[in-house]
């Protein structure tokens, strides 16, 4: 009995000491990180960083784990990276969570991803989650009609609940591709112009033309013209400025139909690390590279 009590109290003390040591270490590393961010902030800090979270499946394969575990590890990595970004002062973070192309994967994997997304959305809306701690507004970007009802409703609810948060924004691209976004923007712009014309009453004039009408160009001089700015206003990503940095993990150097319109003057960064292995130092390097290219990219943006 005496030995049992001694062991019990020793174990309690050891666990308490481990928690205190962990607490000190956590505070010390936070202090170091804050110092580093103070130094980085001497130069320009990116306002918007976008991430292609590539490499979850390879991460799981390397460790002989099911694919779902790779995606879960990817989500943990995401929370760390988000925390670092918002601490540094990045206001907008965009993540490529699920492409329209990803629907071609095995149905079981697609279902796992959808279930994970649903679970994580619910988690993020809890009181103690990162969303409330950092005052993050959630925006789900993409053709949400392609999602199942459960996931779409959860996403819409998350957007509604966090609509008033204004410190930072997390844009989650789901059922998204750039080409789909561009076609959608074209369709919406066409509808806008049609509405404008109807309002002015010109559509009645056009309705009187015959099918084989050979009207000369001068008859169409008042036709509404869709401009680049009209398309930009109708992009899903119009809620945020263009990204300053676009990061793709796992060493691949392509954009895979992500933010093709918005990344004209974005610094591209392709670290070899798989997404679950991406950490603070990769982010620091991305920001330092951005700061080196900043004068040139700003000049190019202004010339546009």
Partner 1 sequence: MVATDSIRKSSSRMAQTPSFALSILWLLIHLVISIFFIVLGIVDTVEDYLISSGFLKRYDVINMGKLRYLAIVVDSEDAMQINKVLKLLQWLTDIGVKHVCLYDSEGVLKKSKEIILEKLSYAKLYEEGDEKSGLDSKTMILEFTSQFDGKEALARAANLLFKRHLKLSLGENQEEKIFTEAQMTEALKAVGSGGPEPDLLLVYGPARCHLGFPAWRLRYTEIVHMGSLDSMKYGPLLKAIYKFTLVRQNYGK
Give me the active site residues, please.
Answer: 54
Per the structure block, which two tokens stand in for 31? Answer: 């202090």
Per the CB < 8 A criterion, the answer to whether 143 and 175 are in contact is yes
CB of 8 to partner 1, least distance (A): 32
Nearer to partner 1, 149 or 211 (CB): 211
Nearer to partner 1, 8 or 31 (CB): 31
Nearer to partner 1, 12 or 166 (CB): 166
Nearer to partner 1, 116 or 260 (CB): 260
Nearest to 270 by CA among 284, 253, 287: 253
Query: Which residues are CB-contacts of 299 (< 8 A; sequence separation ≥ 6)?
Result: none
CB of 140 to partner 1, least distance (A): 19
CB of 177 to partner 1, least distance (A): 8
Cα separation, 146 vs 47, whole angstroms: 30
CB of 73 to partner 1, least distance (A): 19
Nearest to 277 by CA among 62, 102, 117: 62
Cα separation, 67 vs 65, whole angstroms: 6
Query: Which residues are CB-contacts of 192 (< 8 A; sequence separation ≥ 6)?
Result: 230, 234
């Amino acid at each position: 009995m005496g030995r049992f009590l001694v062991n019990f109290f020793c174990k309690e003390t050891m666990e308490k000491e481990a928690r205190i040591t962990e607490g000190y270490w956590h505070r010390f590393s936070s202090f170091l990180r804050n110092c580093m961010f103070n130094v980085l902030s001497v130069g320009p800090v990116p306002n918007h960083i976008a991430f292609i979270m590539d490499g979850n499946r390879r991460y799981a394969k390397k460790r002989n784990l099911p694919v779902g575990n790779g995606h879960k590890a990817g989500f943990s990595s995401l929370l760390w990276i988000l925390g670092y970004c918002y601490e540094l002062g990045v206001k907008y973070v965009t993540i490529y969570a699920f492409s329209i192309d990803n629907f071609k994967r095995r149905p079981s994997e697609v279902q796992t991803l959808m279930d994970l997304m649903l679970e994580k959305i619910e988690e993020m809306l809890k009181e103690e989650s990162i969303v409330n701690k950092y005052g993050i507004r959630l925006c789900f970007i993409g053709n949400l009609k392609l999602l199942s009802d459960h996931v779409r409703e959860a996403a819409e609810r998350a957007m509604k609940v966090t609509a008033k948060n204004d410190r930072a924004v997390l844009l989650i691209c789901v059922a998204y591709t750039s080409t789909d976004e561009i076609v959608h923007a074209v369709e919406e712009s066409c509808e806008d112009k049609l509405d404008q014309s109807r309002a002015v009453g010109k559509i009645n004039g056009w309705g009187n033309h015959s099918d084989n009408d050979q009207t000369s160009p001068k008859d169409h001089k008042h036709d509404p013209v869709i401009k680049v700015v009209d398309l930009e206003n109708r992009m899903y990503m119009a809620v945020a400025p263009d990204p300053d940095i676009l990061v793709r993990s796992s060493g691949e150097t392509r954009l895979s139909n992500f933010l093709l319109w918005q990344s004209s003057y974005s610094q591209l960064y392709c670290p070899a690390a798989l997404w679950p292995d991406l950490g603070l130092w990769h982010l620091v390097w991305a920001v330092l590279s951005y700061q080196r290219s900043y004068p040139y990219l700003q000049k190019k943006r202004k010339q546009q």
